Chains A and B, each alone.
Chain A
Amino acid sequence: MARKILLVNDHIEGLANIDVYRRNGGYAAVEKALKTMTPDAVTEEVKKSGLRGRGGAGFPAGMKWSFLAKPPGVPRYLVCNADESEPGTFKDRYLMERNPHSLIEGMIVSSFALGARTSYIYIRGEYYYVLQILEKAIAEAYEVGLLGKNIMGTDFSLDLYVQPGGGAYICGEETGLIESLEGKRGNPRIKPPFPAVVGVWGCPTVVNNVETIAAVPHIVNMTGDEYAKIGIGRSTGTKLISASGHINKPGVYEIELGLPVEEFIYSDAYCGGISEGRSLKAVVAGGSSVPVLPAELILKTAAGEPRLMSYESLSDGGFATGTMLGSGGFIVYSETACMVRNLWNFSRFYHHESCGQCSPCREGTGWMEKILHNIESGHGKVTDLDLLVDICKKIEGNTICPLGDAAAWPVASHIRHFREEFEYHINNPEKVKDPRHCEKQPFVRKAQSNPA
């Protein structure tokens, strides 16, 4: 199960240098695609590979590419979404920092497949040092003729630009990203029209995550059919997981999809178990936006089957007893974690990051944060929990972009699975006044045998 694709060479010193990268098989996919394949053939390989978007939604990348409108005489664009801002997710940073050329190679091959002559990497402003690494790598690629006019002597030309963002989570939403890239306020656009029809500068655009694009050269090299054999069912290939929280070995791990969650948490090859020998309380499996799951539901599904790290298995049971793979931000909580404080922290983030364009998200995120702050600091009311659930319902699905949903899901799921802990906070205001109360005296949660 320990197959590596994206990070197979990441132990090599100086991989960010183009010569080292090429000595280790780099840019072979560019040569193969540009010299022996047609753009449609590359798209076909990606379709066959079953590669799904690694940014969070898990939409098949090949399908997304085939939706791209191709009106004659209109330029098309490929945009790489490197605005990785989800709390708990840091996989793209590692990839770009260690192996910037794999992203550039992916951009060249993907742009070739899509017919883009200009492509952008939109990177979050906080990753300024990563931007410098990328720009250095791009300059190297221009020098050896892998970017610019007539790449490798073929008639394919590509210009690649890196654009830093100003530091807003909302600019990771694809239409918000496009607005920001155009130099406007990063408000998400109303869809339809989708970016595949009207995107950057009003032209057809594909927006893909860093990890998705970095996987494309490997698919070209090994063929889509071979790639599809890795993984399990419709979750093909490998996925980078950013593991953090109360574990012995936090970090970025590449896993083959289908790895049991239990093995991922407890195996020494991955997280290495819960820190300080404590017990597992909860896991947020795919970045802060996805529903939290308590220990018994993350290790086994409601039907009693072992839970696997795959799109299907993690979402088994819907939101009642399941979650989502999301962007792979795997946050582990031990028994000392205060779930109320954790949720307040998440809500504070969404309150701060809402763009303020549509009313449910603008007003609702702030409202939820204020209520949660009250509960956490010992000023909660019994009616607050039902009110929070109702606010979630009113936000979810009623907003322009998924930020509203992302703000509502953690709140709904924390209350669904950890209601007694919230009630404890409301009923014992004196005990929870100390912010470190859960570390001193962990709140012991009764395992639910039949979660509703």
Chain B
Amino acid sequence: MFKVTIDGIETEVEPGTTILQAARKIGGEIVPPTMCYYSSLEGSGGYCRTCIVKVSAGSAKDPRPMPKPVASCRTPVQDGMVVQNITSPELLEARAGVVEFLLINHPLDCPVCDQAGECDLQNLGFAHGKEESRYDFPRRVFEKKDIGNKIQLHMTRCILCYRCVKVADQLTPGRVHGVMNRGDVAEISTYIEQAVDNDMSGNMIDVCPVGALTDKTFRFKSRVWFVNPTDAHRNCTKCSGNVVLWFHGTEIYRVSARKNEWNEVKEFICNDCRFENKKIENWVVEGPRKIERKSVISQNHYEQYNQLKAQIEKQRARLANGETPDIGDISLRT
């Protein structure tokens, strides 16, 4: 077992665990935010750079600090590693920079976006973003592409996390979409305007951290906080059949897979369950779903984010006064 210290809190993990997994084991606000990492998709992570952490001691054997911030989702822990996340003001500043980069070309059309309320980028912006924008150029736009009758693609909202590409690689028989072009005009698109249509393609919607891929059958029907999530299952030959039904009154507005506290799906569901079974008699209802993740639709809303935000403000003030970060301050763990 490897001993690792994150923001002054020590834990023991198996060799090969990443820093992010170790932090998630500890829990609370020391967990770095993630936009592209997805535990159930192999090889994901490393792209968005929001989960960067500072390694102030590489290992017990070689206690030198790492020269650059590292992506915690892709860096395995070493025995005796000391990691700083929210106790390092420089790191918080660097992360604020990443959030700014993610937002400069994002349309911020949350009022008309179906993802609003369960959007990772909204949560990230709330906790780590700055209030004003320094970007005064026209935002990037893309030509609209139709990728089929089930999934709506809004390329302007995409942050290129590659999660949907990994879904297509790992869950579906043949990938027909991917990233075209490069640099800031790189886009998710299909090869020669082909429709994305196979049994598991709907999972692209669930893994998308922003509103770039949304459910066409749910489009503009309701804000997510007006629909009631309910656990349900059915016998399905293609998937586990364990889903969340989103009710408006007695009508099922949307079916999605179950997400855990890190906003990740562990059991992917098939398109039959997601799109074709919107009648209550098709399902065995288990009961109301408790949304554990921190977002508008969870019961305590942004409570935990407010605590984190207060922490970050405190550390920023320390940096501004030229003081060193205070590790003893981490008392707000949940």
On whether the beta carbons of A359 and B183 are closer than 8 Å, the reply is no
Q: A351-B184, A400-B46 are in contact. Are A363 and B101 (CB under 8 A)?
A: yes
For B158-182 the 0/1 string (1 means CB < 8 A from A) is 0110100000000000000011011
Which A residues are in CB contact (< 8 Å) with B274?
none
Q: How far is the CA of A177 from the CA of B181 in the complex (A)?
A: 17
Which A residues are in CB contact (< 8 Å) with B67?
397
- Least CB distance, B177 to chain A, in whole angstroms: 13
Q: How far is the CA of A418 from the CA of B50 in the complex (A)?
A: 33
On whether the beta carbons of B46 and A190 are closer than 8 Å, the reply is yes
On whether the beta carbons of B46 and A362 are closer than 8 Å, the reply is no
On whether the beta carbons of B100 and A398 are closer than 8 Å, the reply is no
- Least CB distance, B321 to chain A, in whole angstroms: 20
On whether the beta carbons of B97 and A394 are closer than 8 Å, the reply is yes
On whether the beta carbons of A394 and B100 are closer than 8 Å, the reply is yes
Q: Interface size (B, Cβ < 8 Å)?
A: 33
Say if the beta carbon of B49 comes within 8 Å of chain A.
yes
Q: How far is the CA of A119 from the CA of B123 in the complex (A)?
A: 48
Say if the beta carbon of B186 comes within 8 Å of chain A.
yes
For A358-402 the 0/1 string (1 means CB < 8 A from B) is 111011111100100000000000000001001101110111100
Q: How far is the CA of A362 from the CA of B52 in the complex (A)?
A: 17
Say if the beta carbon of B61 comes within 8 Å of chain A.
no
Say if the beta carbon of A357 comes within 8 Å of chain B.
yes
Q: Which of B55-99 contact A (CB under 8 A)?
A: 67-69, 71, 74, 94, 97-98
* Selected contact of B101 from candidates A351, A357, A359, A370, CB within 8 Å: A359
Say if the beta carbon of B23 comes within 8 Å of chain A.
no
On whether the beta carbons of B48 and A358 are closer than 8 Å, the reply is yes
Q: A370-B137, A397-B69, A398-B98 are in contact. Are A356 and B159 (CB under 8 A)?
A: no
A-B contact pairs, 27 of them (CB 8 A): A168-B182, A170-B182, A190-B74, A351-B183, A356-B160, A356-B179, A356-B183, A358-B48, A359-B50, A360-B98, A362-B160, A363-B102, A363-B184, A365-B183, A366-B184, A367-B137, A387-B134, A390-B97, A394-B98, A394-B100, A394-B101, A395-B97, A397-B67, A397-B68, A398-B49, A398-B52, A398-B68
Q: How far is the CA of A359 from the CA of B71 in the complex (A)?
A: 13
Closest chain B residue to A363, Cβ basis: B101
Closest chain A residue to B100, Cβ basis: A394
Q: Interface size (A, Cβ < 8 Å)?
A: 31
Q: How far is the CA of A387 from the CA of B100 in the complex (A)?
A: 13
Say if the beta carbon of B291 comes within 8 Å of chain A.
no
Q: How far is the CA of A397 from the CA of B160 in the complex (A)?
A: 20
Q: How far is the CA of A295 from the CA of B48 in the complex (A)?
A: 39
Cβ-closest 3 pairs across A and B = A394-B97, A356-B186, A363-B101
Say if the beta carbon of A262 comes within 8 Å of chain B.
no
Which B residues are in CB contact (< 8 Å) with A185?
178-179
On whether the beta carbons of B69 and A356 are closer than 8 Å, the reply is no
Q: How far is the CA of A393 from the CA of B47 in the complex (A)?
A: 18
Q: Which of A42-92 contact B (CB under 8 A)?
A: none
Say if the beta carbon of A354 comes within 8 Å of chain B.
yes
Say if the beta carbon of A355 comes within 8 Å of chain B.
yes
Which B residues are in CB contact (< 8 Å) with A365?
183-184
17 further contact pairs, Cβ within 8 A, besides A358-B49, A394-B94, A400-B47:
A190-B71, A351-B183, A356-B183, A359-B102, A359-B160, A362-B186, A365-B184, A367-B135, A393-B97, A394-B97, A394-B100, A394-B101, A397-B68, A398-B49, A398-B68, A398-B69, A400-B46
Which B residues are in CB contact (< 8 Å) with A355?
182-183, 186
Say if the beta carbon of A126 comes within 8 Å of chain B.
no
Q: How far is the CA of A395 from the CA of B101 in the complex (A)?
A: 9
Q: How far is the CA of A352 from the CA of B184 in the complex (A)?
A: 8
Interface of B is mostly: loop
For A99-128 the 0/1 string (1 means CB < 8 A from B) is 000000000000000000000000000000
* Selected contact of A360 from candidates B97, B134, B162, CB within 8 Å: B97
Interface of A is mostly: helix
Which A residues are in CB contact (< 8 Å) with B186?
355-356, 362
Q: How far is the CA of A170 from the CA of B46 in the complex (A)?
A: 17
- Least CB distance, A172 to chain B, in whole angstroms: 14
Closest chain B residue to A397, Cβ basis: B68
Q: How far is the CA of A364 from the CA of B104 in the complex (A)?
A: 9
On whether the beta carbons of A367 and B94 are closer than 8 Å, the reply is no
Closest chain B residue to A355, Cβ basis: B182
Say if the beta carbon of B190 comes within 8 Å of chain A.
no
Q: A168-B182, A365-B183, A366-B183 are in contact. Are A358 and B46 (CB under 8 A)?
A: yes
Say if the beta carbon of A296 comes within 8 Å of chain B.
no
Q: Which of A247-283 contact B (CB under 8 A)?
A: none
- Least CB distance, B186 to chain A, in whole angstroms: 3
Q: How far is the CA of A366 from the CA of B101 in the complex (A)?
A: 10
Say if the beta carbon of A353 comes within 8 Å of chain B.
yes
Q: How far is the CA of A351 from the CA of B184 in the complex (A)?
A: 8
Which B residues are in CB contact (< 8 Å) with A364?
101
Which B residues are in CB contact (< 8 Å) with A359?
47-50, 98, 101-102, 159-160
- Least CB distance, B105 to chain A, in whole angstroms: 6
Closest chain B residue to A170, Cβ basis: B182
Q: Which of B101-146 contact A (CB under 8 A)?
A: 101-102, 104-105, 134-135, 137
Which B residues are in CB contact (< 8 Å) with A351?
183-184
For A168-206 the 0/1 string (1 means CB < 8 A from B) is 101000000000000001000010000000000000000
On whether the beta carbons of B182 and A360 are closer than 8 Å, the reply is no
On whether the beta carbons of B183 and A398 are closer than 8 Å, the reply is no
- Least CB distance, B169 to chain A, in whole angstroms: 12
On whether the beta carbons of A362 and B48 are closer than 8 Å, the reply is no
- Least CB distance, B2 to chain A, in whole angstroms: 16
Q: How far is the CA of A319 from the CA of B102 in the complex (A)?
A: 28
- Least CB distance, A359 to chain B, in whole angstroms: 5
Which B residues are in CB contact (< 8 Å) with A390?
97
Which B residues are in CB contact (< 8 Å) with A357?
47, 160, 162
Which A residues are in CB contact (< 8 Å) with B94?
394, 398
On whether the beta carbons of A358 and B47 are closer than 8 Å, the reply is yes
- Least CB distance, B91 to chain A, in whole angstroms: 10
On whether the beta carbons of A356 and B181 are closer than 8 Å, the reply is yes
* Selected contact of A363 from candidates B74, B105, B162, CB within 8 Å: B105
- Least CB distance, A184 to chain B, in whole angstroms: 10
Which A residues are in CB contact (< 8 Å) with B50?
359
Q: How far is the CA of A42 from the CA of B159 in the complex (A)?
A: 48
Which A residues are in CB contact (< 8 Å) with B179?
185, 356
Closest chain B residue to A185, Cβ basis: B179
- Least CB distance, A365 to chain B, in whole angstroms: 7
Q: How far is the CA of A397 from the CA of B98 in the complex (A)?
A: 12
On whether the beta carbons of A354 and B183 are closer than 8 Å, the reply is yes
Closest chain B residue to A374, Cβ basis: B137
Which of B47, B105, B162 is most buried by chain A, counting CB atoms within 10 A of its CB?
Answer: B47
- Least CB distance, B217 to chain A, in whole angstroms: 31
Which B residues are in CB contact (< 8 Å) with A391?
97
